[in-house]
Structure 1
Amino acid sequence: MPRRQMRVTGAAEAPLRAALRALRTELDVPDAFPPAVLAEAEAAAKTPRLPGRDATDLPFFTIDPPGSTDLDQAMHLTRRADGGYRVHYAIADVAAFVAPGGAVDAEAHRRVLTLYFPDGRIPLHPPVISEGAASLLPGQTAPVLLWRIDLDAEGRRVATDVHRALVRSRARLDYAGVQQQLDAGTAEEPLALLREIGTLRERLEVERGGISLNVPEQEIVERDHGYELEYRAPRPADAWNAQISLLTGAAAADLMTAAGTGILRTLPTAPDGAVARLRRSAKALGIDWPHHVSYAALVRSLDPRDTRHAAFLQDCTTLLRGAGYTVFTDGKTPVPAVHAAVADEYTHCTAPLRRLVDRYAGELCVAAVAGEGPPEWVRAALPGLPQRMAEGSRRAGTVERECVDIVEAALLKDRVGEVFDAYVVDLHDRDPSIGTVHLEDPAVVARVEGGPRPLPLGERLRVRLTQADPGRAKALFAPA
């Protein structure tokens, strides 16, 4: 599911860079890989465990942001003779390069997730693996877990298989280029089917009550010798690509529950209070939300290119809080088993270069299809994975929140004392003179306090910036 994204474009100013470096030190995030880890990774990159099956005849392609080199997934889409579809989805086989109990494995368990900063990332695995030998780069033969998922004419899953194989991607595509080809009608069928299959899967998501948030990415951009914070709306192709990953995660969950051993990504239904808070936010942003319209229906009606809608979609990510991992080994379906936003049983298995748990989920699925028990190293690690992933997710969440604060403060640091138009979208539980405001421009969400009276929840308010210093003081506003 989406996280709040932010990235720096252009030549970012020195205070911002310095604050981000200081944040890395303050949070004690992993930096360089230890020499033993690098040495083991170098050796593994030269001598991976290769599968016997060869699927290099399939012309796979990848879709990622421009410049990405840690490519977890490649796909090939075709029509079936009965009017349905076949999805071939190749997922990087990290286990081909990482020996259980080795130095690279231990370091991955320490890092848990790739961490994303506005000015770069801290990878889960050494680049010689994650951006080299294991990455599905075009023209490179690589070992993968190759999923074959058959769909009927309505996009419903009718058959699933996964096994190890060698593949070779033919093209590295980016989202903008994919959207351009699809809109122009120039895409060849394997890519053109992404729109067709993605749209069908979106309809099925609506049918089962699932929700995909098209959360805009926040960008700080250099313009006219200054900096602005903007939202970049996701493209339809982004969502269609995500549907292939969601399809695979649901197929993996079914394989594991049928086998009686696995790890699911779960999310409880949001409490009533959380939805009520979003209703207040919608009102504050001028978004019409009739009481007879469900949250899911409202979200699908929003346009992430609209600044007000973009701000609301950012707020909607609060309903994803409480997501976790649930392990089961006794053949009984765990409780809870369903991911509320997916509205189905679901697991993470498509990003093993960037997320630790995906390597284990992939191994469980390969074993289930083969009719075998899980490898012992997988079985031994399963009980501790939920806690390890929770710790890694908390660290990633802290990085995310602090980065947002730093970028917003960097953007506003020369505007202390200025007055902005804003909307009050939330109040402090015990002190209604403290709350949260969405600025109309720039795309900032920040704390407001210091007024003599309760804030007007859901109403427009002029606010004055009282502090903003990247790395020292978050952006803070007071009623003007």
Structure 2
Amino acid sequence: MALERYAGPGCLVEFMQGNQSQVAWVLEESSGRLRVYTLTHREEKMAASRVLPWMGPLYDGPRDRSQISEILSTHQARREAGAKAIAPLELWELAQGEVREESAQWFAGLVGETPDVDAVAAMGRALLGCKTHFKFHPPKFEVYSAEVVERRLTESAAAEEREKVVVAGQTFFKELWQGWAAGDRKRGASLAAKLDPEAAAKLAGLLRRVIADADDPEMATLWAMLRKGLPEHPFLPLILASQWGIVSPHHNFHLDQADYDAGNDWHKPFAAEIEARRAGLAALAREPEPIPFVSIDSPTTRDIDDAFYAETLPGGGVRLYLALADPALDWDFGGPLDTAVAHRASSLYLPEGVSHMLPESLGTDLYSLRAGEVRPSLLMEWDFAADGEIVGFAMRKTFVRVAENTCYSVVEAALERGDAAPHLVLGWKLAVLLRDKRLERGAVIIERPEPEIILAGYPDDAQVTMAVCPSYPKAQLLVSEFMILGNTAAAEYAVSHGAAMLFRTQDARLPPEVRGVHSDPPAIQRAVRELPPTLTEPDPRPHATLAAPAYAPVTSPLRRYADLINLAQLESLLRTGAPRWSRGELEARMPALSSRIEAVGRVQRFRPRYWKLLFLQRTCKERTFEGVVVDCGGPFVSLSLPDIQIYVRATKDTLGDTIYTGQRYALRLGRIDPLTNELRVFGAEEIPASLPDEQLFMDAGAS
């Protein structure tokens, strides 16, 4: 049974269909078109170009359909058996490196001396099935190199694994979604128990990756296959993962997207370096300055990075000392721990807990200005005239021992009673003068109530309530003005020494109506709308809102990486007379640092909003909320919810015929979705200006 060169009537041919080789009998040939009879007892028409290059044998004389079927079955059985007996990998070993490509007949000759057409066809089938080692370029088979084979084997294994995961995951994901849509939050575990453990691990890993990055290119194809048949939802991966139980209820997906580890285990790989920091600091420590510094923070603050002391000078002036925590003294910039800290970029202060930028053993212990402990410090010292003008400034590296860690409420109460320590009274009076001078220079100060988000039962059974944070205006003014003073002084010192810093700039001329203090929602909205964004730049420019000629944050080096860099610049200037980094080096670092600051900043901005919306969602049926119109231009009206510090839009039809800025409404809210950030106003009732608030709003257990 020889190979034929021409596919005429009575010739057996093979063609590919459904990724399988099919044998057929040629009934008729005309102008490159064939009419064939197949094993499935059907006639088909096809182009002669579809025929595989092993034709034959050729049978003479007429045959009826039953005879043709019997002949086809016989050859099909021979070829199937022959293909199974062939070891294509052994053939590849023989041919690889010897030939680039050859025909099926040539390969069949390696197995038998005089292969017939069935043996050649069997070889062709075997080689077609070994796609990792051979590629069919009719009429020959290319022999892949060892490097290509290795790559294709890897790709093939990945494809098989992907198929396995898709088969397991498509039904599973649909069932998870159906359970979530029906409000059945307990079905996930029972459904997952039916999964193959390996497939389950792959599916869980995929969901976590897609939660963190919806555009993950490595997961895009697999995710697209798995989500077929499911509705479009921007948080589908998070919903499925939550329903499954592989992430907790109210999972903070913002952390995933920012690649930020919220726990305190992230620093474990750096244990040796942390100990090196302890040893290095112990070797540098010396007797602290004899100044009884005091720090003022929230009662839960553990990363204490500033403290002060004020004393009277002859002639009525004031000397102010500001001590800043100094982790830069022995910090290994560029080391593994520094790289990890730079990636964190900032501490996070969220309702569910604090995540510190530095390892807690450093940020809340070794470098924290804890009372009674000797700590490295960058010490700033000012002399002020009686009217608040600066008449002298100095700065030095040193060690300090803080006398007292106190909190805002204690200082506020003492100042109100009139029995505060002299340095506190002096500090507060100086802060008032500093604030007044900034206002004279055109500063913008926003005063609004800060809401407090209170969580209980987090994460499994989170209950959220809200209250207005207690206000401590005198104590908070004292701290905020000294921080502005310190950051401004840091910038001016660097400028005077020609050193680059990470300056915060807002180089704009603000209109007169924007300057000053704003406390009511419409005025705040007008001011904020006029304020340009602040930038981080290596060159000093004014900061309009703060009325500072230059501003370089340096007062929070335990909490913000940019402050740590700026502190290191000052520390190097004091120690060597030159900054640690040149302008060009700082500029080169800025893209990566800015990207991380923005990513982590989104977590700090958006996560509290999630909890606010959840609070509104759970209480909107029981109460109304005060809204103040801040902008009534355009098709929608913008309202501020002062107690929640959130904005909402409403149609003009909802609010009535007469709408004006500053108008107050009792709002009925609904269709609230914390995930999708949806919040609608369903109804509103105007609040008469003379009616007290307490007669209008029903409190659902939270003020």
Structure 2 counterpart of 1:114:
347
Aligned identity (percent) is 23
Pick which of 226-235 and 164-173 moved more.
Answer: 226-235
Structure 2 counterpart of 1:365:
570
The 5-angstrom pairing of residues 388-403 of structure 1 reads 388-403=592-607
- Asked if the contact 2:637/2:651 (under 8 Å) is kept, the reply is no
Q: 1:415 to 1:77 in 2, by over 3 A?
A: closer
- Asked if the contact 2:639/2:647 (under 8 Å) is kept, the reply is yes
Within 1, Cα distance between the matches of 2:517 and 2:480?
20
AA of the residue aligned to 1:400: Q
* 1:24 and 2:263 matched: no
Q: Per-residue deviation at 1:320?
A: 5.5
Within 1, Cα distance between the matches of 2:668 and 2:373?
55
Within 2, Cα distance between the matches of 1:409 and 1:372?
52
Residue 387 of structure 2 aligns to a residue in which SS? Answer: coil
Structure 2 counterpart of 1:351:
556
AA of the residue aligned to 1:465: L
Structure 1 counterpart of 2:324:
91
Structure 2 counterpart of 1:278:
none
Q: Per-residue deviation at 1:427?
A: 6.0
- Asked if the contact 1:61/1:169 (under 8 Å) is kept, the reply is yes
Unpaired segments ≥5 residues, structure 2: 1-247, 457-462, 685-703
Residue 468 of structure 1 aligns to a residue in which SS? Answer: strand
Residue 57 of structure 1 aligns to a residue in which SS? Answer: coil
Residue 257 of structure 1 aligns to a residue in which SS? Answer: helix
AA of the residue aligned to 1:447: V
Structure 1 counterpart of 2:545:
341
Structure 2 counterpart of 1:294:
513
Q: 1:112 to 1:209 in 2, by over 3 A?
A: same
Structure 2 counterpart of 1:445:
646
AA of the residue aligned to 1:108: V
Residue 47 of structure 1 aligns to a residue in which SS? Answer: helix
Q: What do residues 226-268 of structure 1 show as CA deviations (whole Å, max 9, x unaligned)? A: 8344354342220122111111112111111111122222113
AA of the residue aligned to 1:436: S
Unpaired segments ≥5 residues, structure 1: 1-16, 273-292, 303-308, 329-333
Tell me how many residue pairs correspond in the alignment.
423
Within 2, Cα distance between the matches of 1:446 and 1:246?
28
- Asked if the contact 1:249/1:346 (under 8 Å) is kept, the reply is yes
Within 1, Cα distance between the matches of 2:271 and 2:366?
13
Within 1, Cα distance between the matches of 2:404 and 2:625?
46
Q: 1:36 to 1:56 in 2, by over 3 A?
A: same
Q: 1:95 to 1:248 in 2, by over 3 A?
A: same
What TM-score, normalized to structure 1? 0.78
AA of the residue aligned to 1:448: R
Q: Per-residue deviation at 1:141?
A: 0.6
- Asked if the contact 2:412/2:472 (under 8 Å) is kept, the reply is no
Q: Per-residue deviation at 1:126?
A: 0.6
> Of residues 628, 652, 658 in structure 2, which corresponds to 1:423?
628
Structure 1 counterpart of 2:417:
184
Within 2, Cα distance between the matches of 1:396 and 1:321?
21
* 1:413 and 2:651 matched: no
Q: Per-residue deviation at 1:270?
A: 7.0
Q: What do residues 291-314 of structure 1 show as CA deviations (whole Å, max 9, x unaligned)? A: xx7333352xx4xxxxxx378658
- Asked if the contact 2:344/2:596 (under 8 Å) is kept, the reply is yes
AA of the residue aligned to 2:480: A
Q: 1:461 to 1:439 in 2, by over 3 A?
A: same
The 5-angstrom pairing of residues 176-215 of structure 1 reads 176-215=409-448
Residue 48 of structure 1 aligns to a residue in which SS? Answer: helix
Structure 2 counterpart of 1:8:
none
Structure 2 counterpart of 1:3:
none
Within 1, Cα distance between the matches of 2:680 and 2:510?
29
Residue 446 of structure 2 aligns to a residue in which SS? Answer: coil
Q: Per-residue deviation at 1:153?
A: 1.7
* 1:81 and 2:314 matched: yes
- Asked if the contact 1:53/1:164 (under 8 Å) is kept, the reply is no
- Asked if the contact 1:266/1:326 (under 8 Å) is kept, the reply is yes
Q: 1:92 to 1:50 in 2, by over 3 A?
A: farther
Q: 1:107 to 1:315 in 2, by over 3 A?
A: farther
Q: 1:381 to 1:474 in 2, by over 3 A?
A: farther
Residue 294 of structure 1 aligns to a residue in which SS? Answer: coil
Within 2, Cα distance between the matches of 1:132 and 1:361?
21
Q: Per-residue deviation at 1:385?
A: 4.5
Within 1, Cα distance between the matches of 2:641 and 2:580?
52
* 1:104 and 2:337 matched: yes
Q: Per-residue deviation at 1:341?
A: 1.2
Q: 1:180 to 1:384 in 2, by over 3 A?
A: farther
Larger radius of gyration: 2
* 1:251 and 2:497 matched: no
- Asked if the contact 2:309/2:427 (under 8 Å) is kept, the reply is no
Residue 18 of structure 1 aligns to a residue in which SS? Answer: coil
RMSD value, Cα: 3.2
Larger RCO (alpha carbons 8 Å, 6+ apart) = 1
Q: Per-residue deviation at 1:52?
A: 6.9
Residue 671 of structure 2 aligns to a residue in which SS? Answer: strand
Within 2, Cα distance between the matches of 1:50 and 1:210?
44
AA of the residue aligned to 2:375: A
Within 2, Cα distance between the matches of 1:208 and 1:446?
31
Within 2, Cα distance between the matches of 1:196 and 1:405?
36
> Of residues 577, 586, 592 in structure 2, which corresponds to 1:382?
586
- Asked if the contact 1:41/1:97 (under 8 Å) is kept, the reply is no
Structure 2 counterpart of 1:55:
288
Structure 2 counterpart of 1:149:
382
Structure 1 counterpart of 2:477:
239
